[in-house]
Amino acid sequence: MNIILLGPPGAGKGTQAQRLVDLHHLRQLSTGDMLRAAVKAGTPVGIEAKAVMDRGELVSDAIVSALIGEELDATPETGAIFDGYPRTAAQAASLDDILTQRGRKLDHVIELEVDEDALVERITGRYTCASCGKGYHDRFEQPREPGVCDRCGSTEFKRRPDDNEETVRTRMAEYRAKTAPVLPIYEARGIVSRVDGMAEMDVVTASIEAILGQ
Ligand SMILES: [Zn+2]
């Protein structure tokens, strides 16, 4: 089984990807992670990629394709979750070639959908205890005693600076721009499924499982 999992920041994609890895023994292939690992391990593709990056240039699609091929060949029996790839029509075509050459195919493209306004509320409302790190939310999870951490009694709390509305909306726009070139390609094949990424994590997992079981 080979799938692409898509979802904007805050949709819980990381959690769901990890669950898919555990439940189906898939490998998550994130191009950024693969690139760093290949460079570190000094594989042929890694050496080539390092030379390109040392010159301050972007790694080409050909190098990324070679990297993915190298990874798939390392564990030929294991399915893959593609993360952050493909981003362009050309990369989507490359991925088809890479998979076909190995007798594989892309089975599903699953997108975790979010309601942007609800996501803004979810992200901008969250904060943590500065002492023990317990998570809270302005609307959904306040301490039992206002201003006092339930777990450790601290009265200091903190928010991440990028948990603000502008950042969330910018990230959503970036996400849409990144996926816009490839989603129609997979829509045309009828392999795109959408799941409500705002639901409880277990509900999201169950929805994904239902899609994979089809
Ligand atoms: Zn605390």
Determine the distance separating the centroid of ligand 1 and the alpha carbon of 136, expressed in angstroms. Answer: 10
CA nearest to 173, candidates 59, 54, 61, 9: 9
171 is catalytic: yes
Determine the distance separating the centroid of ligand 1 and the alpha carbon of 31, expressed in angstroms. Answer: 36
Global model pTM greater than 0.85: no
pLDDT of amino acid 33? 87
Q: Tens digit of pLDDT for each residue in 159-186?
A: 999 899 999 999 999 999 989 999 999 9
Determine the distance separating the centroid of ligand 1 and the alpha carbon of 56, expressed in angstroms. Answer: 44
pLDDT of 69 above 80: yes
126 is catalytic: yes
3-state secondary structure at position 11: coil
Note the maximum CA span of the chain.
Answer: 61
55 is catalytic: no
Q: Which residue has the tokens 């317990």?
A: 134
